[in-house]
Amino acid sequence: MSEVTYDESIYYPYTEPCKALINQLLNGKYSLEETELLASQINESYMNYLRKFNRNLGGKSNSRNGVGGTYDCIALCCVYELCKDKVSLMDIEELEKKLFLTTFAKLSFVDLNNPILKRLYHFADSIAAKKGNKIDDYHMVVEPYDVKQPIRYHFTSCPVAEFAKQFGFDDVLPYLCNADFFGIELMHGKLIRKNTLGNGDVCDYAICGNKDPYVKEHEEYRDEVGYIRNTKRRSKQI
C-alpha cells in the first residue's frame, strides 16, 4: 500500500478511528486485495481534494478536526466516491455516527433535562464559539440563555458544506450532517433542526432535554434528500 505524505503545517490526516472504520467497512464488502487498493486510492483522493480545496482548516490546533470532524468528513466523501458500487449513503451515515458518538461519549454524563447541566452546556457552547471563531472555518453564533427555552445556536459557515458543494458531494452531505442528532441523544437530549448550510442559509440548533415538551411539539422526519429535520406539529382541530 502506498504511503501518503502530509504537510501538517497545511494539511492534516483524517483520524485513526476513521481510518479503522473505513478499513472495517471495506473488509466486509471487498476482497483483501481490493481493500488494500481502495484504501490507498482513498488516501490519495483525500490529499488531492485537500490540495484543490486549498483551505487552511487549522490542522491539529483546531478542535473541530477531531474524530468525526472536518477531515474525517472529507475522507468519507472519498470513500463514497470510490466505493459507491457497494457502499451506500446509509453506510456513510453509520460511519459518521460511530465517529461522532466516540466524541460525544465523553459527555454521556450530561443530562440536558437537568437545568444546571443544561446551563453549563450552554456556557461551554459559548466558550467554544469564542475560541472556534478565531479560526476561519465554522462561524458559530450562540443565542443568550433562556431557562424556559432550548439552547439555541447556529453556524453561518461550514467547511464541510463548502467542500461538498464545491466538489459535487451534495448527496453525501445530509448523511454527514445527521450525526449531530445522534450525538445530542447521548446527553439525554434532542436536537430540533429546520435547516443546515447544505439546504439553507444557516445550520440551526435548538437543543433541549429529551423530556422537554418542546420535543413533542416538533416532529422529526427525514426529507427527500436524506436530511433529518423537524417541523412544528400542527394543533389538532376540535
Query: CA-based Rg of the chain, rounded to a whole angstrom?
Result: 19
Among the ranges given (7-21, 30-44, 152-166, 215-229), the one the predictor scored with the smallest mean pLDDT: 7-21
Coil, strand or helix: which one is 40? helix
**86 pLDDT exceeds 70?**
yes
CA nearest 80: which of 196, 169, 20? 169
62 phi/psi in degrees, rounded to 5: -100, 115
Q: What percent of the chain has pLDDT over 90?
A: 71
Q: What is the mean pLDDT of the chain?
A: 89
Return all residues near 7 (Cβ < 8 A) that are at least 6 apart. none
Span 94-108, pLDDT tens digits = 999 999 998 888 888
Q: Residues 165-190: pLDDT tens digits?
A: 999 999 999 999 999 999 999 999 99
pTM, to two decimals: 0.90
